[in-house]
Structure 1
Amino acid sequence: MGETGGAAAPLLPREDGKAHGRGGATCAQTLGNVVVSIVGTGVLGLPYAFSAAGWVAGSLGVAAAGCATLYCMLLLVDCRDKLAEEETEEPCHVHYTYGDLGEKCFGTIGRSLTEIFILVSQAGGSVAYLVFIGENLHSIFGQSMSPAGFIFAILLPVQIALSFIRSLSTLSPFSIFADICNVLAMAMVIRKDLQLIDHPFANRNTFNGVWAIPFTFGVAAFCFEGFSMTLALESSMAERRKFRLVLSQAVMGIIVVYACFGVCGYLAYGEATKDIITLNLPNNWSSAAVKVGLCIALAFTFPVMMHPIHEIIETRFRSSGWFQKLSHNVHGAEWLGLHSSRIVMVAILAVVASFIPAFGSYVSFVGSTVCALLSFVLPTIFHLIIVGSSMSLCRRVLDYGFLIFGLVFAGYGLFNTFSSH
């Protein structure tokens, strides 16, 4: 899946900046890469968010989250272009990561802070995987054990074994399989929805109050979580000047799909809509097959989500003096230490997942805190610092508006979570 969004790993640039393919990705390939970087398991929680806010308010929340995310994605591209101008190089020859922008603005602290947000976001998405799989397995084999039991008895041993696979190319087919299963699950839900919808808008709320909107916006923000892949996707494209158009087309298409799926799910099940819409499906062989296929695909995609986490932690280990000394003095200590760190991280996330009370509330919390900071706050800060002097007053006001909104929204997410407990 994408670096933060729960989708299949896209076509990424090599160290020389060219994509894994001759000449880079075409517009069509980039369009597909954007989609698989963004669309993930979070979409299956949208109907529940619509039931909380109302179908009109939910649609507006998804549209607002998508448009805001698109705007901030384009800010990162503007930052990269401005830095290219300052280095008197062609933009197509300059390649920056999200962490590079943080370092340009605030030095080592900026890079570290940006990478911490990415790390926490990846961990949040990984935990969502475990919760999702545990809940769906429990819905199929409910009599055998609890969702937490499935996480520890089945998922944890499998993920520990898969953590020893270090090659992403080995796991990439499962990422594609996961996206196919996501599409099948959405198609089955919509088909079942259409069968259930008799008087579609009867007893269905359009707007459940202002305070329901942040919950829906948080879920929607989580669904657009592939944010930190923006510059990598742009660098992978052969004709990078067309990236803005391709990205805009992809995001607008995703907004429409998300809104339609959320509305259909809520209109079909109403107040009975569960926080994972697949749990509303009937207990028959076709529903079970889709759920099991989705769980298997996500189980094998989980290591892809964990890869950035392992990479950051292992880099820290290798750069530390005590670990270098231990590896030099003790045979096999490096291999044992690095793989032990992988096992420990998987175990920690499994423990966290076992304590998550509700998938929908968890997704909204991650979306309204970490995703808000990563998708709205940092990009506007970087843009104001790097491009600010050449911007018009209206553009600066708009950036400050997004910055304040991101901070307030993240603060509200934290306050709402702690006050509810």
Structure 2
Amino acid sequence: MAGPKAAEDGSAAPLLPAQAGERSSGGVGGGATSAQTLGNVVVSIVGTGVLGLPYAFRAAGWVAGSIGVAAAGSATLYCMLLLVDCRDKLKEEETEECCHGHYTYGDLGDRCFGTIGRCLTETLVLVSQAGGSVAYLIFIGQNLHSTFSQLMSPAGFIFAILLPLQIALSFIRSLSSLSPFSIFADVCNVLAMAIVIKEDLQLFDHPFSNRSAFNGLWAVPFTFGVAVFCFEGFSMTLALEASMADRRKFRSVLSQAVAAIIAVYVCFGVCGYLAYGEATKDIITLNLPNNWSSAAVKVGLCIALAFTFPVMMHPIHEIVETRFRSNRCFRKLSHNDGGAEWIGLHASRVLVVAVLTVVASFIPFFGSFISFVGSTMCALLSFVLPALFHLSIVGSSIPLWRRVLDYGILLFGLAFAGYGLVTALSSH
């Protein structure tokens, strides 16, 4: 998974620090330069999901997989820009004193559909974020098991090592304190991708022999779901746009970042599948030979992701704690005993971490899991809601062809999410 998504209301601090003293132009913004925002976008999107791409290419074929990744990336970029359109429209209608131009994903839901819209938006953020957190645990457990298979099972690593560590780290409440670990994790991801591609190239003899270009229509939704999961930093869109010193440049910066990521994803997926063929595993690092460099990559990834897991959990804790604080009984108890509030909030963090750890221990297949999350929760969050918000907020002022396109994205997102859910239920 990528860096942290938005907090419960869709906002999050930039992962890379902005330069002090920079002024906003083109709207009230933060102090991040174009280069810093470009880095923030990459940190927010690129994550462990990319290591499942070669397996998705194995399922669909290298041509179909490439098309699926490009389509998923392009559709995600378009829907990200829909959110920016909504923010711009609301900024025109509001006085500066109202929101100072800072609208969150939850705010858009509230403006369009009231409390129900906000709850639906925040629930989708919560569930998709929980799915990403579970994917972290599965990835770490399976990679540690592949390196130290004589010690314990993947579930054993999850319970014996990750659960105690994550409970301890859950007491860190500051997102800024955790952001360096997120950047470190992305550096490790880049290193892992480079080493995997190096190993792939060494295996190339006749790379296109016995490698399918297209394995049938049935495999395309699986690949598209994995690809959508890999472009998961969707809820960070408005927060990243708000962090820019010159918001007018955000569309260009976002487009450049997504185009570069699409190219890297396609290259990585094709190289992995061509190298290993039908032996490609759902986490490509599991295909690496048992030597010191491969073991170092796996362990480095696991360490980095273990310490960025709390960043992934931050939005979940924010949602849960907000609901706790809004509960009348909890407010009364906290008013009578300040220590009870601290105990209650931290107990909720421990409980959430424990529940997700148990869920991760029962999921055997990383690739199938991330495809399911991508084709259901991420599809609703990335396609359905942006199209709905855009039609509701901006629809009356856009040309007919754009309304038709929005409705097309809306129907596609609903159909794709329904297909992903039916496929998951029918396979069990």
Q: TM-score category by the smaller chain?
A: over 0.9
Deviation at 1:89, TM superposition (A): 5.4
Deviation at 1:320, TM superposition (A): 1.1
Q: Give the letter aligned to residue 380 of structure 1.
A: A
Residue 3 of structure 2 aligns with which residue? Answer: 2
Structure 1 position 163 matched with structure 2 position 170: yes
User: What is the rounded CA distance, in whole Å, between the counterparts of 1:275 and 1:418 in structure 2?
Assistant: 20
* C-alpha distance after superposition, 1:154-191 (max 9, x if no partner): 10000001111112222222111111110110000000
User: What is the rounded CA distance, in whole Å, between the counterparts of 2:128 and 2:98 in structure 1?
Assistant: 29
Three-state SS of the structure 2 residue aligned to 1:332 is helix
Q: TM-score, with normalisation over the residues of structure 2?
A: 0.94
Q: Give the letter aligned to residue 183 of structure 1.
A: V
Q: Give the letter aligned to residue 369 of structure 1.
A: T
Check conservation: 1:138, 1:145, Cα contact below 8 A: yes
Check conservation: 2:13, 2:176, Cα contact below 8 A: no
* C-alpha distance after superposition, 1:259-316 (max 9, x if no partner): 0000000000000000000000011111111110110010000001101111111111
Residue 82 of structure 1 aligns with which residue? Answer: 89
Check conservation: 2:143, 2:298, Cα contact below 8 A: yes
Structure 1 position 355 matched with structure 2 position 362: yes
Residue 254 of structure 1 aligns with which residue? Answer: 261
Residue 287 of structure 1 aligns with which residue? Answer: 294
User: What is the rounded CA distance, in whole Å, between the counterparts of 2:176 and 2:394 in structure 1?
Assistant: 37
Q: Give the letter aligned to residue 182 of structure 1.
A: N
Deviation at 1:3, TM superposition (A): 3.1
Check conservation: 2:43, 2:182, Cα contact below 8 A: no
User: What is the rounded CA distance, in whole Å, between the counterparts of 1:297 and 1:219 in structure 2?
Assistant: 22
User: What is the rounded CA distance, in whole Å, between the counterparts of 1:11 and 1:239 in structure 2?
Assistant: 17
Deviation at 1:85, TM superposition (A): 1.6
Check conservation: 1:47, 1:273, Cα contact below 8 A: yes
Over the aligned positions, Cα root-mean-square deviation in angstroms equals 1.9
Structure 1 position 98 matched with structure 2 position 100: no
Check conservation: 1:138, 1:150, Cα contact below 8 A: yes
Deviation at 1:12, TM superposition (A): 2.8
Check conservation: 1:130, 1:350, Cα contact below 8 A: yes
Q: 1:108 to 1:91 in 2, by over 3 A?
A: closer
Residue 12 of structure 1 aligns with which residue? Answer: 14
Residue 277 of structure 1 aligns with which residue? Answer: 284
User: What is the rounded CA distance, in whole Å, between the counterparts of 2:294 and 2:12 in structure 1?
Assistant: 28
Residue 321 of structure 2 aligns with which residue? Answer: 314
Q: Of residues 29, 43, 46 in structure 1, which corresponds to 2:50?
A: 43
Residue 180 of structure 1 aligns with which residue? Answer: 187
Q: Of residues 384, 400, 417 in structure 2, which corresponds to 1:410?
A: 417
Deviation at 1:115, TM superposition (A): 0.6
Check conservation: 2:62, 2:212, Cα contact below 8 A: yes
User: What is the rounded CA distance, in whole Å, between the counterparts of 2:126 and 2:144 in structure 1?
Assistant: 27
1:318-329 residue pairs with structure 2 within 5 A?
318-329=325-336
* C-alpha distance after superposition, 1:237-267 (max 9, x if no partner): 0110111111001001100000000000000
Residue 209 of structure 2 aligns with which residue? Answer: 202
Unaligned 5+ segments in structure 1 are none
Deviation at 1:327, TM superposition (A): 2.0
Unaligned 5+ segments in structure 2 are 23-30
Check conservation: 1:376, 1:406, Cα contact below 8 A: yes
User: What is the rounded CA distance, in whole Å, between the counterparts of 2:20 and 2:74 in structure 1?
Assistant: 31
Deviation at 1:328, TM superposition (A): 2.8
Check conservation: 2:200, 2:271, Cα contact below 8 A: yes
User: What is the rounded CA distance, in whole Å, between the counterparts of 2:195 and 2:139 in structure 1?
Assistant: 17
Q: Of residues 171, 187, 212 in structure 1, which corresponds to 2:219?
A: 212
- % of aligned pairs identical? 80
Q: 1:323 to 1:91 in 2, by over 3 A?
A: closer
User: What is the rounded CA distance, in whole Å, between the counterparts of 2:85 and 2:99 in structure 1?
Assistant: 13
Residue 22 of structure 1 aligns with which residue? Answer: 21
1:113-132 residue pairs with structure 2 within 5 A?
113-132=120-139
User: What is the rounded CA distance, in whole Å, between the counterparts of 2:89 and 2:12 in structure 1?
Assistant: 25
1:145-156 residue pairs with structure 2 within 5 A?
145-156=152-163
Residue 73 of structure 1 aligns with which residue? Answer: 80
Q: 1:231 to 1:288 in 2, by over 3 A?
A: same
User: What is the rounded CA distance, in whole Å, between the counterparts of 2:98 and 2:203 in structure 1?
Assistant: 52
Q: How many equivalent residue pairs? A: 414
Residue 34 of structure 1 aligns with which residue? Answer: 41
Three-state SS of the structure 1 residue aligned to 2:194 is helix
* C-alpha distance after superposition, 1:193-245 (max 9, x if no partner): 00001111010000000010000000000000100100000000011011111
